[in-house]
Copies of this chain bind each other. A is one copy, B any other.
Amino acid sequence: MKGNEKAIVIFQPSGRRGQVEKGKNLKEASVLLGVDIEGLCGEQGVCGKCKVRVQEGFFEKYGIESSRESLTPLTGTERDDLAESECEQGFRLACMAEVLHDVVVFVPEESRLGKQVVRKAAGEIDIPLDPAVKTYSVELPQATLEDSVGDWERLQTGLQKAHEIECPTIDYHALVKLQNTLREGEWKATVTVWMGNEVIRIQAGEVEKAYGAAVDVGSTTVAAYLCDLSTGELIATSSMMNPQVTYGEDVMSRISYTLTNPEGLEQLHRTIIEGLNGLLGDLAGQAGIQAEEIVDMVIVGNTCMHHLMLNIDPRYIGKSPFPPALHHSVDIKARDLGVKICPGAYLHVLPIEAGFVGADNVGVLIAETPYNEEKVRLIIDIGTNGELILGNREKLISSSCATGPAFEGAEIKYGMRAAPGAIERIVIDRESKEVRFKVIDKEAWNDETENMGAKGMCGSAIIDVLPQLFLAGVIDRTGRFAKDLETPRYRVVEEGAEFVIAWPRETSIDQDIVITQDDVRAIQLAKGAMYAGAKLMMRAFGVERVDEVILAGAFGSYIDKESAALLGLFPDCPIENIRSVGNAAGDGARMALLNVDKRSEANEWARQVEYLELTLEEDFDKCFAQAMWLPHMKDKFTSLEHLLPRKQDGKS
């Protein structure tokens, strides 16, 4: 079978694809295509770490048909290692299944290497600690024949006496455990109370710690933070690709999936809930606790992610007049959603601003509080959708633009999440065109050591790379590769022009990491949409310049503000007034987790924001086209004069 015949192999959710010789197993294919699949046993089918699932059906986008018959049949080894239900669902061990025909393979989170994403973003946040969920310890008098009041009434009296809390209700699951827990702790107990209103958990004896989770569900990336509710401290951070990407890469394609598949909504809902449970399990594992010890949870996400997570039909937010199912924040018992934390816990979902400006943007809003400022702030939140807020204490405008997942590493040939092995900084020498880069979790740059182990480029590098190529003259202002480049890094292959960022010896995937002409275009589209959006908002607000720019993004490392400015992600602003804040939506979620007043603040301000529908602005297309240039076709950047090549001035 081995020979020159090839088949197309596509790995989900990364979207990495390529031609692979028939007869190669999926693990070998994954190495060739730069996809990281776990494996400890040297492809002996023993460790069971390399589980993947065949995606069946016709994939229009790729023009291929994938089925279980695209692989060699299940081996006995696999039957031994996989559960029966897994076999039924099409799971295989990547090291055992050999490619016969074109195939699409999903790599589940647990089979991916380098799960832990570096989240520099989740640093200190400055907020007084006053969480919605608090714990109280009580010591109760034992029941006697003279005082045989019910255990719950005894606990209520205890809470009242020791802490002056009148707690009228108790969650059913807490009630069920009440009696045995009180006796186990010899009438000493720790009581977890939600909003001063409902006992949601009882623990025997005195328990100091209580945990909460804040989660930002992005279209492409889901980031989660575990906090100690007694100190406010950030205990653990985790993230994953949104597992819904299998069903569509952006919001609109997922909405359309729910419209064309009868079970589509339920599938997308279950997929994200299962993903969240995995992520929460990972957070808990890092902290050495059980996920059931998480007693509060705040969730943000764009309107579509919000609806899909809640199993609410997203069809109406997909078409005019785009009304969401609800605007206000909502508290839902985690168990009603199948989220496996403390069974009595609530999940607090932050409010929505407008059709496409969702709870994630509200998270940004309460984290960055432009409504408290005199100065006009432009806040750019980069995700699969770019979300923008412009305003100050007088007025707030928001808008949303479809940037695509380029900045999150998807749809970029060697794009990846901000995980170990990801290139996070790129500098290209203007003369030699030599590339210096830095990899996450490594101190040294590639010109200091050869042991870089790069695998791809994460968001911050993707923002670096275009200005660097441009400043080095590799690409021109329109994003086209210069044709007369004398460097071995530049070449034209079958698919088009590309530029080598890292040589095989600098990688752990044993192949060149390149940036292609298609990649450049994708990044231009994304940044152009952002720029155009900001400009139209400024016009609506009535300002020529903004005082401050805040760069936020859930995709991992901090953005280099000079790179972002040179890329032309936003109109001109003094470099010193630009701040890069990491995942502000996640910060907002954490704030609402740690301080209950932030929840009412969110509801209050979410309703004040005016939404600007960019695509309805008459010169949007023109604005967008001009903004595709580096940094812009016409606009002047006085703040960048010292950085931009002189010759550019003449050209414009």
Q: CB < 8 Å: which of B176, B320, B325, B337 contacts A312?
A: B176
**Chain B, residue nearest A332 (CB):** B172
Closest CB-CB distance, A594 to chain B, in whole Å?
24
**Which residues from B are CB-within-8-Å of A323?**
143, 148-151, 154
The chain B residue sitting closest to A616, CB to CB, is B145
Identity of the chain B residue whose Cβ is nearest the Cβ of A178 in the assembled complex:
B325
Contact status A328-B175, CB under 8 Å: no
How many Å from the CB of A501 to the closest CB on chain B?
45
Alpha-carbon gap, A382 to B180, bound state (A):
32
Determine the distance from Cα of A321 to Cα of B144 in the docked complex, in whole angstroms. 5
Q: Write out the residue numbers on chain B whose beta carbons fall within 8 Å of the beta carbon of A153.
A: 326-328
A147: B residues at CB distance < 8 A: 321
Q: Which of B143, B151, B332, B355 contacts A326 (CB 8 A)?
A: B151
Q: How far is the CB of A158 from chain B (nearest CB, A)?
A: 14
| Residue in A321, A325, A352 whose Cβ sees the most chain B Cβ within 10 Å | A325
Q: Is the CB of B352 within 8 A of A150?
A: yes
Contact A143 B321 (CB under 8 A): yes
Tell me whether A316 is interfacial, beta carbon within 8 Å: yes
For this chain, the copies found in one complex come to: 2
Question: Nearest Cβ in chain B — how far from A147, in angstroms?
Answer: 8
B150, B321, B352: the one contacting A327 at CB < 8 Å is B150
Q: Is B327 touching A149 in the complex (CB atoms < 8 A)? A: yes
Proximity string of chain A (105-122) to chain B, C-beta cutoff 8 Å, 1 when within and 0 when not? 000000000000000000
Alpha-carbon gap, A152 to B323, bound state (A)? 10
- The answer to whether the Cβ of A322 comes within 8 Å of any Cβ in the partner chain is yes
A169 to chain B: which residues have CB within 8 Å? 331
In the assembled complex, A556 has its CB within 8 A of some CB on chain B: no
Q: By the criterion CB–CB under 8 Å, are A148 and B328 in contact?
A: no
Question: What's the nearest-Cβ distance from chain B to residue A136, in Å?
Answer: 19
Verify A148–B354 contact, CB threshold 8 A: yes
The verdict on A259 contacting chain B, using a C-beta distance below 8 Å, is: no
**Distance to closest chain B CB from A185 (angstroms):** 15
Cα distance A316–B149 in the bound complex, in angstroms = 12
Please tell me if A179 contacts chain B, counting CB pairs below 8 Å.
yes
**Closest residue on chain B to residue A147 by CB atoms:** B321
Interface residue? A36 (CB, 8 A): no
On whether the beta carbons of A325 and B145 are closer than 8 Å, the reply is: no
Q: Given known contacts A148-B355, A313-B180, A352-B150, is B325 in contact with A175 (CB within 8 Å)?
A: yes
**Assembly CA distance A70 to B144 (angstroms):** 49
Whether B321 and A148, one on each chain, are in contact in the complex, defined by CB atoms closer than 8 angstroms, is yes
Across the interface, do A152 and B327 meet the contact criterion of CB distance under 8 Å?
yes
Chain A, 162-176, CB within 8 A of any chain B CB: 169-170, 172-173, 175-176
Which residues of B sit under 8 angstroms from A178, Cβ to Cβ? Answer: 325-326
Indicate if A436 sits at the interface (CB-CB under 8 A): no
Question: A144, A322, A323: which has the most chain B beta carbons within 10 Å?
Answer: A323
Q: A150-B328, A152-B327 known; A310 and B143 CB under 8 Å?
A: no
Q: Which of A315-356 contact B (CB under 8 A)?
A: 316, 320-328, 330-333, 336-337, 352, 354-355
CA–CA, A474 and B249, complex, Å? 88
Residues facing B in A154-199 (CB within 8 A) are: 154, 169-170, 172-173, 175-176, 178-180
Tell me if A508 counts as interface (CB < 8 A to partner B): no
The verdict on A311 contacting chain B, using a C-beta distance below 8 Å, is: yes
Q: Is the CB of B179 within 8 A of A312?
A: yes
Q: Are B326 and A175 in contact (CB under 8 A)?
A: yes
Q: How long is the Cα–Cα vector from A144 to B145 in the complex, in angstroms?
A: 65
State whether B143 touches A312 (Cβ < 8 A). Answer: no
CA of A316 to CA of B184, assembled, Å: 13
Q: How far is the CA of A149 from the CA of B327 in the complex (A)?
A: 7
Bound form: Cα–Cα A526–B145 in Å: 27
Complex-state Cα separation, A369 to B354, whole angstroms: 55
Among residues of B, the one whose C-beta sits closest to the C-beta of A315 is B179
CA distance A150 to B606 in the complex (A): 12
- The reply to whether B179 and A313 contact each other, CB–CB distance below 8 Å, is yes
Q: How far, in angstroms, from A312 to B173 measured CA to CA in the complex?
A: 10
Measured in the bound complex, the distance between the Cα atoms of B311 and A203 in whole Å is 19
Check if A172 sits within 8 Å of B336, measured CB to CB. yes
Whether B175 and A310, one on each chain, are in contact in the complex, defined by CB atoms closer than 8 angstroms, is yes
Residues of chain B within 8 A of A175, CB atoms compared = 310, 312, 325-326, 330
Question: With A and B bound together, what is the CA distance between A313 and B181 in angstroms?
Answer: 11
Check A145/B176 contact, CB under 8 A, given A150-B326, A152-B325. no
Residues of chain A at the chain B interface (Cβ within 8 Å): 143-154, 169-170, 172-173, 175-176, 178-180, 310-313, 316, 320-328, 330-333, 336-337, 352, 354-355
Sample of 10 more A-B contacts, CB < 8 Å, known A143-B323, A172-B333? A146-B321, A148-B323, A148-B354, A150-B325, A151-B326, A152-B326, A153-B326, A173-B336, A175-B310, A180-B313
Q: List 15 A-B contacts (CB under 8 A).
A: A144-B321, A148-B322, A148-B323, A149-B323, A149-B327, A151-B325, A153-B326, A154-B323, A172-B310, A173-B336, A175-B310, A175-B312, A176-B311, A179-B313, A180-B313
